[in-house]
Structure 1
């Protein structure tokens, strides 16, 4: 796994001090590739093409490239890693340089959470020509996005980006030499930085070693168009920006083509009339406008809203220009493609209203063009004619110099594979046409391409061949679980990798050595069912089989399905699973499964009609020897009195043959918790009523009991719920119920930790010493973790209000509690101390002693956010799985990762440093701007105290202190500067405090 050097060092220190984290790296259970295709590619002079993309196959987002040829070969074998620094690198652009190499530029988040600009140069063999990690083009604080790049005539490039170093968004640029040296001011020169925003732009070499750029200027909701020219030294060659168009209304989406003789044609969408039209203009190197005020390419000046949008332009071999745009004249809902060719004199060469390039059903969008060698062009686009979104396909056409379609009318199909294909790009090398696109035919994103002759003959198989493919989607929160087996653990989750076809349930076996038994990223519990599967629940049988149940939307109404997995991972109930009922109610939800006395017990909430209304009742099914024992539709568990049939019941837990549910009675506006133990025939067990047992006999106007959970005990079952009684604060109450249905504690229930505060997210662990639970305690809007233990007779063992596991000025959530065989505990949680939440854990002894650092030990502090740890204990080891956002970028992408934690807390190595000499607190405030205070306590004086600040690359940023300090508490302020007192950029930093015995490191975030 790719790791930040400093963070890895920190993790190893923790291991050395506590001997608890047993795997050097977290294990990826489900890690997607999540390709982002940015239409980045270029032709090569040797009859090939190079494509560039970003993906997360190493965890965080990196940049990759591949070269393909006209024979279908991946020329470089495996893709070339362009950059793999920490955090993410994305949104690449590529250009071929005058020395027949290639520069790739991208937005880089390794040093700044807002993004910087970096670049790398490669040769035709894929060798990196500049320093590893790329050349920093702009690392100034503030956001840099939206790259544009063109070559100079000496092996270098011009790079333009949108920059927010000022309050508005401006255009800045840098000129890199062939060796990667910055030829202009560090962090770039302003290209357009007036009042308002400058974002969308188009740029080309000027043929004289400089460049010309045109851009959209937005101010007070008005868009105008301007152009500037710069020489290779960064000097603007015109006295002022040339106004391309500042007419009333909005002018935007400007594009440019370079003709011969130092002339440039611009086209744009123009709303000076009722709706956007397509206009054009030509300028020369002196900045003169050569076509009057403007040239109308196409305009409708009537009252109907039939816009023309998003023009593209390409220079033709006969020194004309072809313009293609999205046009709504024939269909106000779906765009068609129209085209026009203009001469260098500004004469429209085709029909005055343009020619229809494609008017097929639904929309045609996103055209891209490349000239042929005979005055025409090849064009490719995304086409929805075959069923509308998400059935996008790729089509192409060859237009002659006279505007004649030389391939099939309305375009030649390039790829019509299932699902979505989009983001098409066309390049030409050695008279071979290369077309590539993003492709989701297999459910996840891949990059495919096709090569064609000028006659339109494909050189590869129908629908093209794969350049690269990888798993997309993620693991939704709250839809995964971990269970122990005899010698490993099984992890089960909902997976969105086949989003177009439907989410599915996957599983994986994780071994004690950190290896997995099944295929990478898991195995599905069914084949495709063309519908979403969600809310999985599972149980492991004594012979290590796994019964899994879930809500399944394969039909018109969601129903509950189940699958039995063999000990070696094979489907035993068919490739589609089994439906638990023959009936098809409007919905079945809340599926649960348990194992008891040789049978599998299932439960769910079942929608049922009563008069004109629908209510949920609890149903169950028992399966023995693969046979349904309670009839084709199961049995009713939540039997209601005749006068309460309008009560709604929702299942929350199923332990052995105990069903636990919440019941809402609208007649008296109450919510209550019920438990029922059932016999093998589905009836109530001896001692239990058909209605079940109400966990608490409390009955008043504030009877609001909700969200129960349960765990088995040696005497029966413990039930916990949130309760509003008396103070209208949701805190936890509980009840212990015997096997024969007797309440063992106060019939009203027990207020488990009456702290007069809101409580939620309880996690239960029962062992031979008692019933323990941990929860989130809301203290003035901030949640901390607490724990309490009860004896089986109902005595609180850890004080009346419980003990704090963690208490600090930040929120902790998603607590997970588990018990080791020696009756000690491990508790883990999500900690929101910084802007990116991490996972922490802590040991609790059998008698409630909190072990280790008071702030908890780091379970995982990888970049981005980690959520919802869940724990299974096997022998004397805890296996913890969580949702991990290290692949996140523009959107959050969650994978599944796991770690193994020892149940042993003692330090066996006498030479290991003691934690007692040094205690480091989290900096405050965090995140911070412009300064933060770092505090620590020395339990003895030291002659060698060092306090260093590091960045994410592990580079020393600043030494705050190096010298002697007495024992006691100390405070140091860091003002966000480096050793030269220059301000550093936004991002994640680490501070390291060390003396002769100890070293501790913590993370902090600078956010300007």
Structure 2
């Protein structure tokens, strides 16, 4: 019976590990006062992965009354856009839009008491689960502990208003999924509602049809019937009327205010009605309007509140003093419709730049408190929160132009104000630390702040995400390092972060990573890195801190400490117009770090990108302060070329050259020696990897990738020759610069279709062959294929390779990695669902003969969480694979990408030959200490003594350094000392070494690091 070797595999962690998972608070200005002198605030966040709903109760002394925030709802997918109201039984109802059972969103609600206990069923009660979109909630209490909930509903053509009445127990009192509140042939969206004082409610709404907007009002009784035969027309004048708001006076009277465009520009209008829908004030009633005057300007976004002396105060945004930035004006109107303050309104705040987004609440003396977003301290992004206390006569009781409630650094906005037991609670969204938090301040009736300056924290967490194609994972001796661009401090600049991930799934650094530098206030992007023999890391990235984007460097020791300062060091002393495309590679046998980049340089006033390089050894730049030019052309040809760095493997530089005369593109590779000179046998300008004529119109060679081989370097690229369809071509180049394959290059898998997303399996133990994977575009759908080539250019898996996955949906972005035992794993993005277009990460195992180990043709699932997972990357440590991917589990209104990880095992197992030794016949254990100097212990266990064993040491080139054991061994545990010398007894250099235990039938390999 022939020997059959297979691969067995499994996910080793029960759940994916969040490497970077944000909290991403969404503040919907949802808060209320309580009967016991506190306030409750409600928000949604993603600290548990998906978006959930939370609440916290705070008191006037700055205490979080409930300790940790209260989870209102944590069902799958997302819950967001909450509203809250206090009910007549002194409890609180929270309603929200819920996507757990409908991608379009449904309406749910929950009731809580003042002690933070959920009073209705876990997950909330369904208010509306009708198909199609439900959004934009509004809610008010009834007289019996229940609530009325209104929403915008798309079940009919257009957008309508629907509503539901829940009793104190959460049971629906109206028709299941709600009744129509306003569902004419046009759209009804923006609305305002308040209790009518009789157990029902009054609602006013904007009706839009044919491009025009008018305002109507209705009254509903508690049983869901309309109290009036017809809606009351609040305003149907020419032009648009919208943004209506309302306030309740005594004796069953209600005042509405809106933005009215019947004239040249928006003005502020108002009207009052009674419980029967009768219009009570003159029509039209102008609060303020300057249309028709010489200096007319817009008045916008009115807000209204009823005062304790049965009047209303209205605040609006006004451009009469500044055409570009709004100021705030106010007016008070009594029940008779008299303007009580200056007929032009009272200037509430006319500070520099804009004041907007005002909110107000009454005091107990006929005045009110008003808060707003204020840009006086330098315009956006220096938004602050200001406030004012107005007396019943319009006098400012706090500082003129408003008091700074919070003027901490960065942005504060979306303030809310409530009065609870004569204490004024003001809270807002705050980005003082770069990410969103919720803060609040409390004032007593005398205007004295009760909390520290700039407020007390309610809750804070990371915002932002991990942008696609800006992360990487690299193996170290015992773990992996993950590096990414992070937008958590977007208003202070994106930064590069990193994390160490251990084999047991634990992390070594701060949760969500550590920055490679302190904040510079500018963006960092495009990280590149290499791990050195001592497990330290050298990084390069594009940094915008200077006048032009340039590349900076950092060296992190094995524990993550910054060795090149808290802000990194510039790659070059000179500051060119631009540097981009950094690459970093490590030549372990010489302890050399190579760096390449594209440098924008000027000759006679003409600017072009060329490829530059630098080599660092022993912490010192070896090629001068500014590096050397790699892509060299004579002066007379400078204008005709532009070179973009693409690949760097040790001291082999590969780039894309654009010929600006022929409008063609070609690929060049060049080897450089340790002195910065062109290596022997290589052209000074680099070797064109394909001799396909650059004068041919279809010479379009792009996006090269490369890997080292035992003989030199293999380069592959996208090539459009012949039919303008880009296929992958390849070339094998010897270490002395000779093309080893067809000088034109080899078409690696000619299906006559577009190919993209190539990934090459790299492992220094297997540089005697070339294995790669790619996406094949088949009628707009992508399938994944793999192929193996010998170093002589012969395809090993048929002429066209093997399909990894082939189905009627998109599969893309494969990543192929090779274990030390020769097996391979491939992961890819799989758009399994053509309806939602959500994607998973799938994977398969590949044997060295190209066959697969997977009982599912579509692959195993690495991650199938809700939303999208993208672009896996894999790092191999011995025979374990660490995979990372961008995960959209927190996405909602916008896509938010976290970074997650999972680990895969891989063991070579004999399936059908009883004479084949299984991996359990012996076990190789990790050496200790590791890293080591000068010696280390290598331990292994022998269970089967049938065959002789060999324990060898190899360098990363696969060359034998020393044989430590050869022959038959006794059963049991063995401990062998390696003193760091080779077979001649000479001390070897620092670097990564491999030790392999074999019984002639199978072998196990591990890595170790000699660090001097």
- TM norm structure 2: 0.87
Cα distance in structure 1, aligned partners of 2:829 and 2:519: 34
The answer to whether residue 191 in structure 2 is matched with residue 193 in structure 1 is no
Name the SS for the 1:804 alignment partner.
strand
- Aligned residue for 1:627? 620
Q: Say which one has the larger Rg.
A: 2
The answer to whether residue 176 in structure 2 is matched with residue 183 in structure 1 is no
The answer to whether residue 662 in structure 2 is matched with residue 668 in structure 1 is yes
In the TM superposition, residue 454 of structure 1 has moved relative to its aligned partner by 2.1
Q: Which aligned pairs between 1:524-539 and structure 2 lie closer than 5 A?
A: 524-539=515-530
Residues 488 and 510, structure 1, Cα contact 8 Å, conserved in 2 = yes
- Aligned residue for 2:922? none
Cα distance in structure 2, aligned partners of 1:234 and 1:308: 36
Cα distance in structure 2, aligned partners of 1:356 and 1:165: 44
Name the SS for the 1:801 alignment partner.
coil
Residues 267 and 291, structure 2, Cα contact 8 Å, conserved in 1 = no
In the TM superposition, residue 612 of structure 1 has moved relative to its aligned partner by 2.7
- Aligned residue for 2:304? 313
Cα distance in structure 1, aligned partners of 2:283 and 2:722: 78
Residues 769 and 823, structure 1, Cα contact 8 Å, conserved in 2 = no
- Aligned residue for 1:408? 399
Query: What does the per-residue CA deviation read over 1:759-801, in whole Å, with 9 as the maximum and x for residues that have no partner?
Result: 1110001425510110011111211111111011111001111
- Aligned residue for 1:233? 223
Name the SS for the 2:861 alignment partner.
strand
The answer to whether residue 753 in structure 2 is matched with residue 757 in structure 1 is yes
Query: What does the per-residue CA deviation read over 1:430-487, in whole Å, with 9 as the maximum and x for residues that have no partner?
Result: 1111100000000000000001122222111111111000000000100000000000
Residues 485 and 524, structure 2, Cα contact 8 Å, conserved in 1 = yes
Residues 607 and 615, structure 1, Cα contact 8 Å, conserved in 2 = yes
For structure 1, the 5+ residue unaligned runs are 1-16, 910-1008
- Aligned residue for 1:707? 703
Match of 2:558 among 557, 567, 571: 567
Cα distance in structure 2, aligned partners of 1:564 and 1:870: 23
- Aligned residue for 1:681? 675
Match of 1:278 among 245, 259, 268: 268
Residues 18 and 907, structure 1, Cα contact 8 Å, conserved in 2 = no
Residues 9 and 906, structure 2, Cα contact 8 Å, conserved in 1 = no
Residues 695 and 747, structure 1, Cα contact 8 Å, conserved in 2 = yes
- Aligned residue for 2:803? 804
The answer to whether residue 341 in structure 2 is matched with residue 350 in structure 1 is yes
Q: Which aligned pairs between 1:326-725 and structure 2 lie closer than 5 A?
A: 326-596=317-587, 597-646=590-639, 647-699=641-693, 700-701=695-696, 702-725=698-721
Cα distance in structure 1, aligned partners of 2:42 and 2:415: 13
- TM norm structure 1: 0.88
Name the SS for the 2:636 alignment partner.
helix
Cα distance in structure 2, aligned partners of 1:904 and 1:169: 58
- Aligned residue for 1:733? 729
- Aligned residue for 1:849? 851
Residues 305 and 332, structure 1, Cα contact 8 Å, conserved in 2 = no
Equivalent residues, number: 893
Name the SS for the 2:740 alignment partner.
coil
Cα distance in structure 1, aligned partners of 2:493 and 2:898: 18
- Aligned residue for 1:992? none
In the TM superposition, residue 19 of structure 1 has moved relative to its aligned partner by 4.7
The answer to whether residue 887 in structure 2 is matched with residue 884 in structure 1 is yes
Match of 2:864 among 836, 861, 866: 861
Match of 1:252 among 225, 238, 242: 242
In the TM superposition, residue 907 of structure 1 has moved relative to its aligned partner by 10
* Further displaced range: 285-294 or 503-512: 285-294
The answer to whether residue 27 in structure 2 is matched with residue 37 in structure 1 is yes
Match of 2:874 among 865, 871, 882: 871
Cα distance in structure 2, aligned partners of 1:187 and 1:858: 37
Name the SS for the 1:645 alignment partner.
helix
Name the SS for the 1:95 alignment partner.
strand
Cα distance in structure 2, aligned partners of 1:642 and 1:162: 67
- Aligned residue for 1:294? 284
Query: What does the per-residue CA deviation read over 1:798-826, in whole Å, with 9 as the maximum and x for residues that have no partner?
Result: 11111111111111111101111222211
The answer to whether residue 787 in structure 2 is matched with residue 788 in structure 1 is yes
From the superposition, tell whether residues 704 and 457 of structure 1 become closer, same or farther in structure 2 (CA, over 3 Å). Answer: same
In the TM superposition, residue 346 of structure 1 has moved relative to its aligned partner by 0.5
From the superposition, tell whether residues 815 and 384 of structure 1 become closer, same or farther in structure 2 (CA, over 3 Å). Answer: same
For structure 2, the 5+ residue unaligned runs are 1-6, 913-1012
Cα distance in structure 1, aligned partners of 2:397 and 2:72: 39
Residues 554 and 564, structure 2, Cα contact 8 Å, conserved in 1 = yes
Cα distance in structure 2, aligned partners of 1:241 and 1:815: 60
Cα distance in structure 2, aligned partners of 1:408 and 1:18: 73
Cα distance in structure 2, aligned partners of 1:885 and 1:421: 27
In the TM superposition, residue 665 of structure 1 has moved relative to its aligned partner by 1.5
Cα distance in structure 2, aligned partners of 1:779 and 1:429: 65
* Further displaced range: 119-128 or 896-905: 896-905
Cα distance in structure 1, aligned partners of 2:768 and 2:638: 41
From the superposition, tell whether residues 277 and 908 of structure 1 become closer, same or farther in structure 2 (CA, over 3 Å). Answer: farther
The answer to whether residue 69 in structure 2 is matched with residue 69 in structure 1 is no
In the TM superposition, residue 301 of structure 1 has moved relative to its aligned partner by 2.1
Cα distance in structure 2, aligned partners of 1:84 and 1:666: 57
Query: What does the per-residue CA deviation read over 1:186-238, in whole Å, with 9 as the maximum and x for residues that have no partner?
Result: 00010000011000000000000011101000001110001111111111110
Residues 98 and 108, structure 2, Cα contact 8 Å, conserved in 1 = yes
In the TM superposition, residue 294 of structure 1 has moved relative to its aligned partner by 3.0
* Further displaced range: 454-463 or 182-191: 454-463
